[in-house]
Structures are given as C-alpha cells and as structure tokens.
Structure 1
Amino acid sequence: MILDRFRLTDQVAIVTGAGRGIGAATAVAFAEAGADVVISSRTAADLDRVAKTIAELGRRAVVVEADLDDTGAVAALVDAAVSDLGGVDVVVNNVGGTMPRPLLDTSDGFLERAFHFNVTTAVALVRAAAPVMLERGGGSVVNISSVMGRVAGRGYLAYGVAKGALSHATRLLAADLAPRIRVNALEVGSVATSALDIVVENEPLRTAMESATPLRRLGQPDEVAAAALFLASAAGGYVTGRTLPVDGGIDSPNLDLGLPDL
C-alpha cells in the first residue's frame, strides 16, 4: 500500500530543536510512523514532555539537552543514537533562527552568528552522522530552512542570508552524499509556534499576516512535520537536493516590520 511508504518502522531519527513547535511535532510524527528518536534542545523540561508523548506511542525517545550553537555538542547526539538506539537513519536539522534587525544595525558579528547557528550547526551534524548512516546503508537528511531564504524583505538580511545558505548547502550536501544519503530541505513560511507568539497573541498583527498569505492563515507545526516525514521516508525516495516550500503560497514577506526608508 502507498501509505506504507511513509513508514519509518524501526528506524532511528535525530531531531534538533525538538522541545517545541516544528521540532516537537516532527519527532512525534516520526514516532507515529514507527521510528525511535533522539530529541535535542536547550530545555530539558520541554524535551521530557515530548519524550513522554513518544513513549505513549510505543517508541523510544532519548533526550539530549544541548546548545547546538556549540558545534562540539553535535557528537553527543550521534553517540546517543548509536549507543541507545543502534544507529542513525534520519537527521532533521530544525534548530536555528535569527531575529529581524535593520540593515544599519546588522553588525559583522550578528551576521556571522546567524550563519553559524543556522548553517554551520546543520553541516556539523550531517558530517558527524553521515559515517554512521552509511554503515547502515544510507538514510535521509531534512533541513528546516525558510521562505526568507528565497524572498526579499527589509530587516531580514541576516536571517534570509543564513536560510538561503542552508537551502544551497542542502543541494551541495546532496551532491556530496548521493546516492546513499538523500538531503532535502523545507522552506517554511509563517507557522504558529512560540517563535510567533507576538503575532498569534496580537489580533490585528495576525490578521494582517494572514491577509498577506494566499491561504489566509498561519501554518501548523504538524503540517511541516508531515512534509518532513515525506522527505525522510521511502515516499520521498526519488527526491534529493531539493527544497520543498511549506509556506502558504507566499512570494513576499507577509510581515511588514515597519522599517522607515533610509
């Protein structure tokens, strides 16, 4: 049956930024599809809640509290996957993000930190996990990028450059790791997570954002998780080096930061 191609039965996944939002939804979705999951973020209490949900689904969850801005921490995720779950089949690089900032306030250091947190961390985890994945015959990597890596808007220079670089890193990693490891990305739009609380809790702001989105609403974390499952599973087995938009159809930023002309 076609639905069987979306299964991850007895596979092992690593999901970063898995304490809340898209990462948590993805980890749970993978468990529902039959995977055991290493989940990581900076907040143990969030991870424990996700781990409890995964256990209730009959799958195993290994919690690794870590700040992946320190790329030396990525080895712990791979080590946990191997020692506790037997290997690595899927990696989801969800950790990342950068606050908007006007151009003239965007220092060299701010730009470099945005690149490091969104790109260097992802590449470091892929580099650490790839040898283990190859030992098991291959696998899949899903990078969570952003529509802001493709469209232009004021105030998004650091974030957009970093996510654009992550999208292209996806294509380059796919070339390096083909044919046994597939590497793809999701270009995510505005999703109702804690990162958008300021929008979700402000009705006029939310209405403006939804009105500027062709589907007239914010996305939900489980919609991104479903797309990640497609790319991670055999259902996406003939897809590599691609970025899949999950963005409500936007082709320009749907949040005007109200920055004045220079």
Structure 2
Amino acid sequence: MYLPSFSLKGKTALVTGAGRGIGQAIAIGYAEAGADVVIVSRTQSDLEKTAQLIESVGTKAYLFEADVTNKDQVKGIFETLDLEQINVDILVNNAGMNIRSKAFDVSDEEWDTIMHTNLRSAFWFSQQAGQRMKESGGGKIITISSVAGHVALRTGVVYASTKAAIIQMTKNLALEWGQYGINVNSIGPWYFKTPLTEKLLADKEYLQDILDVTPQKRVGELPDLVGPAVFLASEAADYVNGQTLFVDGGMTIQGF
C-alpha cells in the first residue's frame, strides 16, 4: 500500500486560538478527521461554541480558557492534561494578533504584546508539548506563520518579524526534535475570510490589491487551510519536517 492514512482517529490535538476563525476551523477539521481536540481561547463563550461543533461530529472537546501569554497558565494546561492522562499527539500554535502601526509609531507596549502573543506563546506551547512528545515517542507540531514572514507586506514590521521568526523556529525545533519522532512544521496563509479580516476585505481597493497579486484571483476560504493542517498532522506527513507550507493561492511566487 502506497497511500498513507490521513485519519486522525485515536489522536488528541491541542489548538490555540480555537474560539473562532482559523483556529476554530482547524479544530473542527481535526474532529472530522477523528481526533479529540483540546481547545484554548481567552473567551469562554467562544470555546463553548467550538466545543459544540466538535462534539456534534462525534469526538471529545476539552476546554481551557487561558491567556497564552501567561507562562503559568500554559504550564497549567499541560499539567491538567497530565493529571487527566490526556496525551497531546498534535499541537497547533494558532493564537495570534496584530496591531497595524507604522514602524515609526510602534510603541514598546505594542512590540511586547505582538511578540508575546504570536511568538513567545508558540514557543512555550511547543516546549511543553515537545517534552511530552519526546517521552511518548513522537508527535506533530504545527505553527501558523504567514506569507508576511516570507515577503514584505503592509501588515506591519512587528507582525512580520514574529511570523518570520516562527518560520526559523520551526526549522530549529525540527532539527533538534526530529530524532525523537517529532515533526515540526508551519503553515503560511495569505488572506482568508475570517472575523479578523472582515473589515480589511470590505475595502474594495485593498481587496483588489490582494487579488492583483494572487494567481488564483481570490482570497482563501477556511476549508482551503484545514486540508493542509490535517495533512501535516497525519501520518501522511511523517517525512515532512521543518517546512513551511504556504497556502496562498500562489501569492508568494511573485511578491506584493
């Protein structure tokens, strides 16, 4: 047999920022692929909605209302899972944010907020999950980067810096942890229809600029991202390590 399994049945995935948008879509997609899902968000009401959608598929949802920038809370999630004997086989670092300030206007507070949310939290979750995956014989870690980590965009210098750092962090963790059966990869999306991009995409001129540099002439739909996320989490990607998969309609082949 040459076709490996894309099923996640029997696996448990942890997804940060799972209350809405990309994180919610990936969490539900993993449930559809058979996984139980640990969902993390700052908003309990969002968690409950995602949990209902996961459980309607027929798998289990474990809810954690937490601030991903708080190291003690991050450790607390994994300690609770340890006590409940829940092993995390798949980690998706999705939680992120942006403040679109010009470089001259970036404040120390903005720098710290974006860095801590997008980058430091992803490392903390990876460190905690990686330690346990090493002991259990392996796992999959996937971090959501961005095309902004690869080409220069209007998204702002701090956001772009965090996403570029994620791409390099992915390579380094893959190099260190590959020997333990841990695959570390990232996904670099272009513009997708989510609550966070709704206002931007409503600007017809801005939307046209996006379409002009996207060979497929459309923005992404969430299912376009869920497929690659399931692939990287499955045994079909067992020999894929340290890579960033750009899900961008071809945007990064020409720049913006």
Q: Is the 8 Å Cα contact of residues 24 and 50 (structure 2) preserved in structure 1?
A: yes
Deviation at 1:116, TM superposition (A): 1.8
Aligned residue number for residue 257 of structure 1: none
Change (3 A) 1:74 1:104: same
Which moved further from structure 2: 203-212 or 186-195?
A: 203-212
The aligned length equals: 254
Matches within 5 A, 1:1-262: 5-84=5-84, 86-154=86-154, 156-179=156-179, 180-251=181-252
CA distance in 2, matches of 1:29, 1:204: 32
Distance 1:62 1:152, change over 3 A: same
Deviation at 1:134, TM superposition (A): 2.2
Deviation for aligned residue 1:208: 3.6
Cα distance in structure 1, aligned partners of 2:250 and 2:25: 21
Q: CA deviation at 1:131?
A: 2.3
- Please give the TM-score of this superposition, normalised by the length of structure 2: 0.92
Change (3 A) 1:155 1:54: closer
Show structure 2 runs of 5+ residues with no match: none
Distance apart, 1:212 and its partner CA: 3.0
Root-mean-square deviation (CA, aligned residues, Å) is: 1.9
The TM-score normalised by the length of structure 1 is 0.90
Contact 1:14–1:81 (CA under 8 A) maintained in structure 2: no
Q: CA deviation at 1:71?
A: 2.4
Identify if the C-alpha distance between structure 1 residues 160 and 69 changes in structure 2 by more than 3 Å, giving closer, same or farther: same
* Contact 1:12–1:85 (CA under 8 A) maintained in structure 2: no
Residue 260 of structure 1 aligns with which residue?
none
Checking the alignment, whether the CA contact within 8 Å between 1:191 and 1:219 is kept in structure 2 is yes
Q: Deviations over 1:193-236 (max 9, x none)?
A: 01101123344433442233221111112221211111111011
**Percentage identity across paired residues of the two chains:** 37
Say if 1:182 and 1:240, in contact at 8 Å, map to a contact too: yes
- Secondary structure of 1:244's counterpart equals strand
Q: Secondary structure, in 3 states, of the residue corresponding to 1:76?
A: helix
One-letter amino acid of the structure 2 residue matched with residue 238 of structure 1: Y
How many angstroms apart in 1 are the aligned matches of 2:127 and 2:176? 11
Unaligned runs of 5+ in 1: 255-262
Provide the rounded CA distance (Å) in 1 between the counterparts of 2:95 and 2:255.
21
In the TM superposition, what whole-angstrom CA distance separates every residue of 1:89-134 from its partner, at most 9, and x where no partner exists?
0100000122221111023443233222111101101111122222
Moved over 4 A (4+): 1-4
Paired AA for residue 250 in structure 2: G
2-structure distance, mates of 1:172, 1:129: 16
Per-residue deviation at 1:82?
3.3
Q: Is the 8 A contact 1:214 1:248 kept in 2?
A: yes
Q: Distance in 2 between matches of 1:105 and 1:114?
A: 14
What are the Cα deviations for residues 121-160 of structure 1, in whole angstroms up to 9, with x where unaligned?
A: 0110111112222232110000000100111135621111
Are the counterparts in 1 of residues 41 and 65 from structure 2 also a CA contact under 8 Å? yes
